[in-house]
Amino acid sequence: MKENPWIKDFPQLNNHLHYFDSAATSLKPVSVIEQVNYYNQELSSNIHRGMYYESQKATELYEEARESVANFINAQSNEIVFTRGTTASLNLVARSFGVNHLNQGDEILTSELEHHSSLIPWQYVANKTGAKIKYIPLSDQGRIALDAFKATISKATKVVAINHVSNVMGYLTPLKEIIAIAHEYGAVVVVDGAQAIQHIPVDVKSLDADFYAFSGHKMLGPTGIGILYGKDDLLSEMEPIEFGGDMALDVMKTQFSWKESPIKFEAGTMPIASVIGLKAAIEYLKNVGLDNIHQYTKDLYDYLIKKLNELDGIELYNHHSDTFIFTFNLKNVPSHDAISYFSEKHIALRAGQHCAKLIHDFLNINASLRGTIYFYNTYKDVDVLVDTMKEAIDYFKKLGF
Amino acid sequence: MKENPWIKDFPQLNNHLHYFDSAATSLKPVSVIEQVNYYNQELSSNIHRGMYYESQKATELYEEARESVANFINAQSNEIVFTRGTTASLNLVARSFGVNHLNQGDEILTSELEHHSSLIPWQYVANKTGAKIKYIPLSDQGRIALDAFKATISKATKVVAINHVSNVMGYLTPLKEIIAIAHEYGAVVVVDGAQAIQHIPVDVKSLDADFYAFSGHKMLGPTGIGILYGKDDLLSEMEPIEFGGDMALDVMKTQFSWKESPIKFEAGTMPIASVIGLKAAIEYLKNVGLDNIHQYTKDLYDYLIKKLNELDGIELYNHHSDTFIFTFNLKNVPSHDAISYFSEKHIALRAGQHCAKLIHDFLNINASLRGTIYFYNTYKDVDVLVDTMKEAIDYFKKLGF
Amino acid sequence: MNNLDHLYREIIMEHYKNPRNKGLVTNDDYKSNRIKNPSCGDDITIQVLVEDGMVKDVKQEASGCSISVASASVLSEIMIGRSVEEAKKIVDTYINMVTNKEFDESVDLEEAAVFSGVKKFPARIKCASIAWVAFKDSLE
Amino acid sequence: MNNLDHLYREIIMEHYKNPRNKGLVTNDDYKSNRIKNPSCGDDITIQVLVEDGMVKDVKQEASGCSISVASASVLSEIMIGRSVEEAKKIVDTYINMVTNKEFDESVDLEEAAVFSGVKKFPARIKCASIAWVAFKDSLE
Ligand SMILES: Cc1ncc(COP(=O)(O)O)c(C=O)c1O
Ligand SMILES: Cc1ncc(COP(=O)(O)O)c(C=O)c1O
């Protein structure tokens, strides 16, 4: 058990917090915080239209961030749209592509594993267009399996809206195979990558994903910035859904035209500081290395699971998480009672449905506790967590739960 | 000419920059920068759903920011929706209220003074619904006058989309009177307040505005955060336009419901750091005092205009700006040639159409140079600006322009 | 006693395990009010029978955490037999207490007073107040 | 010489004031290409007549800043009489030069070489390249 070399980069960890809530939002390394500061303190100017140094520099950093994102997922930079977050990205696809391409009788294929942001925009589209939502049956474990997918897709399927990694189970979807099959049926695949991008290398070209969405704040970046990758030809023919500011090309009294993608989707002043911070986050992730992150977190997760298996009084819902999310309840203890115990001990977990009601229905539970192992967690964190679980089990048992 | 007591609060001013581009985006005081840092370094957690201290605290600050905004414009906090910016706010009104309330034959009244963000969302609505865009004729000066408004509004007018202050001319619209008349005709008034909120006290109740939009980054706050004020009854009956995350109430396989306003409009993880920074910006503005800002900037503006009046070789398009925006060209010099001169001298102005093409058509020019006086500008800044104008006039004349 | 012990008082646990006036009726004379907070798993229905300005009966059905279930039960027990006037006063006092506002200490909250421990747990205030809000709405 | 003097060279001013090959024709044999950049006020149309792999004629109409107007004029003058092959090579070299990329110094840019001063003004690169991009598109 060697020292964790990354902790020192995360100022929030000075607070004696055992942070297991990275699936909700990640901590930010100093380099990201400083880059946000650099914009706020030194540049603080608007982009694209200023000629003085600060504005030029901000524009340059903004566009470099776009290249950096493109490079990170093996896309071209004109395929990268900046948004407010994954939710905004997925809604953009639903509102612009979905509403204009689906019709009565068409089907949207999705899963009960989806985060609400990957599900209800498509319920909206279904409602608006007369298309139907269909669900890929989950395996007993709650996984999306290729067989089930093959059995459900049909000629009517026009869109597959699916997560790359589930935010409750941490399961990795067999995306590459799913996309290949979907394309045989002529369906477009919209991937919610919010829980994948910080854990595994994502190559949109090799996946052949049509759309891929994720959030800066879950990958060490600032809040307020999201990404939508879309294939050039798809983005090019899509209408923007917000109008005004720099996206306009020519404006006349009763009509207007817009610029090319991706600028046409970025209406008004964008979250410039967050975009600039995002670039630093990607650099940090690259420096640490996604493979190192994976190895370290896997070892730590295995250590945790071994301890959990020795524990009576907790119910674990995912014994084999691919990205080291662990979701559980204390037996007989409502998750909102349990969470208060952990919070008092400075352990950051999350209680509730994690914006994923359907998987809770599938598990036949109301709510759950969720934690995530990330690379700034330590063996000590895990020891404290497991010890606290033991205490909590005793505590609630004594109370009569 | 006393010392400007506020400059020391703006780190960017150490860069020997003469910053006249506040209408594009304002500089940020240390207190705002520090508050963003506080979130990023100490809290860095998601809101509304966490129970540990950091998440609670972030939630608290987020909701306090909402109260602070409400208080600043005399609204209730449930009437304040956070968005990505003014552009996003105005598009929300257009997409949710506009598209669902307008019909063939209805009219949308607007002006050639609008920023594109206050205009083209309504062109979209007109296009979608069959409603018509009509323009309030401008006075010779380019102002929206009450008489012209009265002569243009009709029973067919369902929406008046109008700026509070023009971002090119700095003119103050007679908003209170316009809103009263619009309401007599049963029209809803959507105000673009992006250039007003940092200069004049805004009281949405006294104005009786139906919607009022503005941006954090133009009022000393961070990028990436905007505000939409809407009357409670209007927001309550409006549909959200983005779905997912915390805005959902109950989610079933084929349908879902949403929470109450304003939460229903805030889908997914919001720009938490920016919201928290916005609160600090409002506090800073209140501490300085909008009346002090007005007095200081007015004096400085008068000083500038006096000097400009003595200058040959520049064409000023607005001799009486209410918020101290000055828009001009060097005679015979295309604005993009001129701007390079100022940029070389570390003077931040903006060249182009400032996302307001129609007012340039009205002025019968292609483009212009725009500056703004704000309270962190000094008499020295103005002297440098005017001296540089003189040099530039000579320089370009010698070149043969 | 630590913060948690302040929250999980014996009375609360007792009501959690043996909720009073549980089970809904299908009687239209009762005003019924359901509040769900699906993201926590809370689902609370309160039914109130008011006659001649008096709360004649309260029925409740609550699922969720111990605090929300117990507070529905305690509420039902306290309210039966009160005048609407009194009931409203108690609700307001209770809600002020759990939300850490000033409250009228002269109002006797009876067993509901044990929920004061929730003040230290801002995230649980909703759990403690959800049934009371549903009840209050029924009185309007 | 300061940066601005590098930008506003005499040749550029001369072309700005006396643009060559100005005025559009209504001849369908010319390939026409218009690029607008309304936010700067740039509006540039380039017409090209290609015959037997040769650029026979170029007409242009440009409004905007001096750099964009002059670069359209210089372009037109340089290109007339070139083979399409040569013309493409010159365009690529020019665009690489003004965008501060590596470029083939063996290619003679003739008068267009004076636009190298634009490198120091990243925001003006578009002004210097807009006509050239329009021309290039016409050759495709
Ligand atoms: C009058 C006016 N309206 C709208 C906007 C758009 O604001 P934002 O870019 O913050 O969305 C601006 C600023 O560019 C403006 O000046
Ligand atoms: C799988 C998944 N999809 C979508 C989202 C929504 O992301 P955001 O809240 O950043 O919009 C999240 C995070 O909450 C998530 O975990």
Instruction: Among D38, D121, D122, select the one facing A250 at the smallest CB separation.
Output: D38
CA of A88 to the centre of ligand 1 (A): 20
Q: Which residues pair with A230 in a beta bridge?
A: A211
B259 noted as active-site residue: no
Ligand nearest to the CA of B111: 1
Q: Given the CA of residue A192, which atom of ligand 2 is nearest to it?
A: 3
Is A24 an interface residue toward C (CB < 8 Å)? no
Of D2 and A374, more confident:
A374
Backbone angles phi, psi at B256, to 5 degrees: -150, 160
Four-CA torsion D57, D63, D65, D70, nearest 10 degrees: 20
What is the mean pLDDT of the segment spanning B355-370? Answer: 96
Q: Which two tokens stand for residue C81?
A: 């037999």
What is the 3-state secondary structure of B21-49? CCCCCCCCCHHHHHHHHHHHHHHCCCCCC
Is B248 an interface residue toward A (CB < 8 Å)? yes
Is D113 an interface residue toward B (CB < 8 Å)? no
Q: Which two tokens stand for residue B401?
A: 């322009």
Instruction: List pocket residues of ligand 1, CB cut-off 6 Å.
Output: A 245, 268-269; B 85-87, 115, 117-118, 163, 167, 192, 194-195, 215, 355
Touching partners of C (3+ C-beta pairs < 8 Å): A, B
Ligand nearest to the CA of B370: 1
Residue A302 burial (CB count, 10 A): 12
DSSP state of A27: -
What is the mean pLDDT of the segment spanning A256-260? Answer: 95
DSSP state of C119: G
Instruction: Among A88, A340, A358, select the one facing B268 at the smallest CB separation.
Output: A88
Q: How far apart are CA A285 and CA A29, in angstroms?
A: 10
Ligand nearest to the CA of B87: 1
Q: Report angle CA B36, B37, B42 to the nearest 5 degrees.
A: 115
Q: How far apart are CA A388 and CA A394, in angstroms?
A: 10
Among residues B358, B356, B347, the alpha carbon closest in space to that of B380 is found at B347
Q: Report angle CA B374, B377, B382 to the nearest 5 degrees.
A: 110
CB of A26 closer than 8 Å to CB of A263: no
Backbone angles phi, psi at A50, to 5 degrees: -100, 155
Give the pLDDT of residue C1: 62
Model confidence over A7-60: pLDDT tens digits?
A: 999 999 987 899 999 999 999 999 999 999 999 999 999 998 788 999 999 999
Helix (H, G, I), strand (E, B) or coil at C2: coil
CB of A345 closer than 8 Å to CB of B52: no
For a mutational test of ligand 2's pocket, the pick from A115, A164, A199, A278, i.e. the residue with the most ligand atoms closer than 8 A to its C-beta, is: A115
Q: Which domains does chain C have, with CATH numbers?
A: 3-139 (3.90.1010.10)
CB of B240 closer than 8 Å to CB of B258: yes
Cβ contact B336–D40 (<8 Å): yes
B233: which residues sit within 8 A by CB, 6+ positions away? none
What is the mean pLDDT of the segment spanning A151-162? Answer: 98
User: A347 CA to chain C: closest CA distance, Å?
Assistant: 15
Backbone angles phi, psi at C67, to 5 degrees: -65, -45
Q: Report angle CA B83, B87, B90 to the nearest 5 degrees.
A: 80
Q: How many residues does chain A have?
A: 401
Hey, which bits of B262-346 come out as E strands? 314-316, 325-330
- Above 0.85 for ipTM, yes or no? yes
Give the pLDDT of residue A2: 63
pLDDT above 90 (res B329)? yes
- How many angstroms separate the Cα of A58 from the Cα of each of A77, B64, B226, B340? 17, 30, 20, 17
C140: which residues sit within 8 A by CB, 6+ positions away? none
Per-position DSSP letters for A33-69, written without gaps between them:
HHHHHHIIIII---SSSB-SHHHHHHHHHHHHHHHHH
CB proximity under 8 Å: D 90-109 to B? none
Backbone angles phi, psi at B356, to 5 degrees: -145, 75
Give the pLDDT of residue A240: 98
pLDDT above 90 (res B16)? no
> Half-sphere exposure of residue A133, counting CA atoms within 13 Å on the CB side?
23
* Contact present, C and B (at least 3 Cβ pairs less than 8 Å): yes
Model confidence over D13-27: pLDDT tens digits?
A: 999 999 999 999 999
Q: How far apart are CA A255 and CA A236, in angstroms?
A: 20
Among residues B397, B308, B370, the alpha carbon closest in space to that of B170 is found at B370
Name the least confident of A174-183, A273-282, B206-215, D121-130.
D121-130
Q: What is the CA radius of gyration of chain C?
A: 14
CB of A154 closer than 8 Å to CB of A174: no
Q: Which two tokens stand for residue A234?
A: 């798809």
Q: Which two tokens stand for residue C117?
A: 């421990």
pTM above 0.90, yes or no: yes
* Contact present, C and D (at least 3 Cβ pairs less than 8 Å): no
Kindly report the average pLDDT of chain A as a whole number.
96
- Beta strand A80-83 with A226-230 is antiparallel
Helix (H, G, I), strand (E, B) or coil at B368: strand
Q: What is the CA radius of gyration of chain A?
A: 22
- Alpha helices in C10-123, H assignment, sequence order: 10-17, 66-79, 84-98
Of the candidates A7, A133, A355, A365, the residue annotated as catalytic is A355
- Name the residue at shortest CA distance from atom 7 of ligand 2: A86
Give the pLDDT of residue D140: 83
Which residues of chain C neighbour B49 with C-beta distances below 8 Å? 39
CB of A115 closer than 8 Å to CB of A355: yes
Name the least confident of B269-283, B364-378, C39-53.
C39-53
Q: What is the CA radius of gyration of chain D?
A: 14
Residue D44 burial (CB count, 10 A): 26
Q: What is the CA radius of gyration of chain B?
A: 22
pLDDT above 80 (res B370)? yes
User: B367 CA to chain A: closest CA distance, Å?
Assistant: 12
Model confidence over B22-51: pLDDT tens digits?
A: 999 999 999 999 999 999 999 999 998 788
Is B223 an interface residue toward C (CB < 8 Å)? no
Q: How far apart are CA B144 and CA B358, in angstroms?
A: 14
- Alpha helices in B112-145, H assignment, sequence order: 116-129
Write the single-letter amino acid at A80: I
When scoring C10, C17, C39 by the number of chain A Cβ atoms within 10 A, the one with the most, hence best to mutate, is: C39
Instruction: Among A335, A351, A353, select the one facing C38 at the smallest CB separation.
Output: A353
Is A184 an interface residue toward D (CB < 8 Å)? no
Which residues of chain C neighbour A335 with C-beta distances below 8 Å? 40-41, 65
What is the mean pLDDT of the segment spanning B132-160? Answer: 98
Is D36 an interface residue toward A (CB < 8 Å)? yes
Kindly report the average pLDDT of chain B as a whole number.
96
For residue A255, the Cα-to-chain-centroid distance in whole angstroms is: 37
B76-113: buried (b, 16+ CB within 10 Å) or exposed (e) per residue? Answer: eebbbbbbbbbbbbbbbbbbbbbbebbeeebbbbbbbb
Touching partners of A (3+ C-beta pairs < 8 Å): B, C, D
What is the mean pLDDT of the segment spanning C57-68? Answer: 95
Instruction: Among A340, A357, A395, select the one facing C38 at the smallest CB separation.
Output: A357
- Beta strand C42-51 with A107-110 is unpaired
pLDDT above 80 (res B2)? no
Backbone angles phi, psi at A242, to 5 degrees: -130, 140
CA of B87 to the centre of ligand 1 (A): 6
Q: Which domains does chain B have, with CATH numbers?
A: 7-20+289-398 (3.90.1150.10), 31-286 (3.40.640.10)
Which residues of chain A neighbour D36 with C-beta distances below 8 Å? 249-250
